[in-house]
């Protein structure tokens, strides 16, 4: 049944109360379900945005709700990635900065930059609800792709998911964006998909150059960066 892997995914991706814990490996064998979490998180964030009249506050609330529901899980990866990105020296020093539990200036600066881009874009789109929903879905398409295609450089959650994933899962994940045609034009959808693909390719290349591969922090950073860039692209074309 698909219900059990879907619940395992939502327990992994969110802090929503969803009953007894599901076996994590059940989701790991269904990586293509990642965008479902985008619909759940983005849908809740969109509903919150609809309740708030001032656009800047609605945008801030929608983004905050999306971050809160996930327990800042992906944002934490972005902060760690920022530390590794800005570290000086050898690959070993960059990996040490990436995996260190403390957050430095590189992490704070990277987190602020990406979040500010997401907020600025979200506050200018015609429909905040439609944009945050699309941003969350495409962010998780990006997460599915980097999970499938990003070679791990160490053991951890990403390596476990990567070993369980299959190349076809990336194709299946794309099919989940089709319902967005109800709120976005085909051109906007294609643009968001292109931005997602280029971001994932760039993050895999950057991860390989800086750290020797991908880990959960790089995957989490990819989620946050994809969301911000998809929102920015929608702000430009809508």
Residue 21 pLDDT grade (very low, low, confident, very high; cuts 50, 70, 90): confident
pLDDT of residue 2: 77
Q: Render 160-199 in DSSP notation, one character per residue.
A: HHHHH--HHHHHHHHHTTGGGGGTS-HHHHHHHHHHHHHH
Give domain status of residue 13, yes or no. no
Mean pLDDT over 79-97 rounds to 95
Q: Sign of torsion, CA 172 208 202 120?
A: positive
Q: What is the pLDDT of residues 146-170, one digit of tens each?
A: 999 999 999 999 999 999 999 999 9
What whole-number percentage of the chain has pLDDT above 70? 100
Q: What is the pLDDT of residues 62-87, one digit of tens each?
A: 999 999 999 999 999 999 999 999 99
Number of domains in the chain: 1
Sequence-separated (6 or more) residues with CB below 8 Å from residue 104: 83, 86, 97
Residue 22 pLDDT grade (very low, low, confident, very high; cuts 50, 70, 90): confident
Give domain status of residue 98, yes or no. yes
Residue 6's nearest CA partner among 20, 29, 27 is 27
Give domain status of residue 205, yes or no. yes
Q: Render the chain in DSSP notation, one character per residue.
A: --HHHHHHHHHHH-----SSPPPHHHHHT-GGGHHHHHHHHHHHHHHHHHT--SHHHHHHHHHHHHHHHTTTHHHHHHHHHHHHHH--S-HHHHHHHHH-SS--HHHHHHHHHHHHHHHHHHTTSS-HHHHHHHHHHHHHHHHHHHHHH--BSSSSHHHHHHHH--HHHHHHHHHTTGGGGGTS-HHHHHHHHHHHHHHHHHHHHHHHHHHSSB-HHHHHHHHHHHHHHHHHHHHHH-
Residue 82's region, left for phi above 0, alpha for psi from -120 to 50, else beta, is alpha
Give domain status of residue 226, yes or no. yes
Compute CA distances 7 → 16, 87, 137, whole Å: 10, 38, 17
Mean pLDDT over 35-62 rounds to 97
What's the CA gap between 199 and 78, in Å, rounded? 14
What's the CA gap between 200 and 146, in Å, rounded? 6
Domain interval for residue 208: 36-237
What's the CA gap between 216 and 232, in Å, rounded? 24
Mean pLDDT over 200-207 rounds to 98
pLDDT of residue 28: 87
Q: What is the pLDDT of residues 186-202, one digit of tens each?
A: 999 999 999 999 999 99
pLDDT of residue 111: 97
pLDDT of residue 181: 96
Q: Are 48 and 128 in contact (CB under 8 A)?
A: no
pLDDT of residue 1: 67
Q: What is the pTM of this model?
A: 0.96
What's the CA gap between 197 and 190, in Å, rounded? 10
Give domain status of residue 142, yes or no. yes
pLDDT of residue 20: 84
pLDDT of residue 26: 82
What's the CA gap between 66 and 130, in Å, rounded? 14
| Mean pLDDT over the full length of the chain | 95
């Amino acid at each position: 049944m698909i219900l059990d892997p879907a619940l395992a995914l939502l327990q992994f991706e969110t802090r929503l109360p969803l009953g007894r814990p599901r076996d994590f490996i059940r989701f790991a064998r269904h990586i293509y379900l990642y965008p479902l979490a985008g619909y759940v998180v983005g849908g809740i964030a969109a509903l919150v945005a609809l309740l708030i009249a001032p656009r800047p506050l609605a945008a801030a609330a929608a983004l905050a709700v999306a971050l809160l529901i996930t327990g800042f899980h992906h944002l934490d990866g972005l902060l760690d990635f920022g530390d590794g990105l800005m570290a000086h020296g050898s690959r070993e020093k960059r990996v040490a900065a990436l995996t260190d539990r403390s957050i430095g200036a590189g992490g704070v600066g990277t987190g602020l930059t990406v979040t500010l881009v997401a907020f600025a874009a979200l506050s200018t789109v015609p429909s905040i609800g439609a944009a945050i929903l699309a941003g969350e879905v495409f962010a998780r398409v990006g997460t599915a792709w980097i999970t499938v295609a990003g070679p791990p450089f160490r053991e951890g959650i990403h390596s476990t998911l990567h070993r369980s994933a299959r190349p076809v899962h990336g194709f299946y994940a794309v099919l989940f964006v089709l319902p967005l045609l109800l709120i976005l034009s085909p051109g906007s959808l294609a643009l968001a998909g292109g931005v997602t693909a280029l971001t994932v390719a760039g993050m895999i290349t950057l991860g390989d150059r800086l750290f020797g591969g991908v880990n959960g922090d790089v995957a989490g950073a990819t989620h946050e960066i994809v969301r911000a860039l998809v929102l920015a692209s929608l702000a430009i074309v809508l």
